[in-house]
Amino acid sequence: MQIDVLSLFPEMFEGVFGSSILKKAQEKDAVSLKVTDFRAFSGNKHNQVDDYPYGGGAGMVLKPEPLFRAVESVRDDQKTPRIILMCPQGERYTQAKAEELAKEEHLIFLCGHYEGYDERIREFLVTDEISIGDFVLTGGELAAMTVIDSVVRLLPEVLGNKQSHIGDSFSTGLLEHPQYTRPVEFEGMMVPEVLRSGDHAKIDEWRKKESLYRTWSRRPDLLTDYVLTEKEQQWIKEFVTRKNLDS
């Protein structure tokens, strides 16, 4: 996969792209990561990439020319890129979107600053607008890093264990079940007996039930479109009973 980032602050990506899974992914040639300073495409002697908004108002707006030119400079004629605008007005980012983007050959991320973008960038340049949450950041860089990390880890051969991401929170529509490791006992706190039983069928059922409970208790909104099996419906009845007894 080829990933290009257009930013006014390319130095922000050095530590992230040069560390951990993203570094290993590049070493394995699973992904090519490149950051381009789109100020170089301003086309004026002052390298100005923003201007005052028509109609008045506070703040400055990113001009269309630098971003259109920068995108053209990183396009690969052999690939059709997804051009992603990081923006608080965009579609809220989900694991499903990460899995969708992980199937693409070329992603181009646009990271803005200032008050916003010239609307022609939205209308005629980008294919996707993504928001990582209902809050506003200084710029799109941190949001782009988040999306890129979540996409790259899904690429084949990137994670050491090919199954590592399958049980992640949100991958199944539910939050991930609790995890334990050695020691069995720590300051009186024990690893659940079922996980030490060696009975893989019981362990699998325990994990599914705990995953559902964690989702039901912490993120019930995720269950709105989740299709419950008969067993899962019974488990939820047990959860309700447990909650009523505890209250």
**Residues annotated as part of the active site:** 88, 115, 153, 168
CA distance 221 to 212: 12
CA distance 41 to 83: 17
Q: Is 135 annotated as a binding-site member?
A: yes
Q: Is 204 annotated as a binding-site member?
A: no
Q: Is 136 annotated as a binding-site member?
A: yes
CA distance 208 to 167: 10
- The answer to whether the CB of 119 falls within 8 A of the CB of 85 is no
Q: Is 132 annotated as a binding-site member?
A: yes
Number of neighbours of residue 176 by Cβ within 10 angstroms: 16
DSSP string, 72-95: HHH--TTS--EEEEEEEEEEEP-H
CA distance 243 to 247: 6
| Binding-site residue positions | 112, 132-137
- Known binding-site residues for S-adenosyl-L-methionine equal 112, 132-137
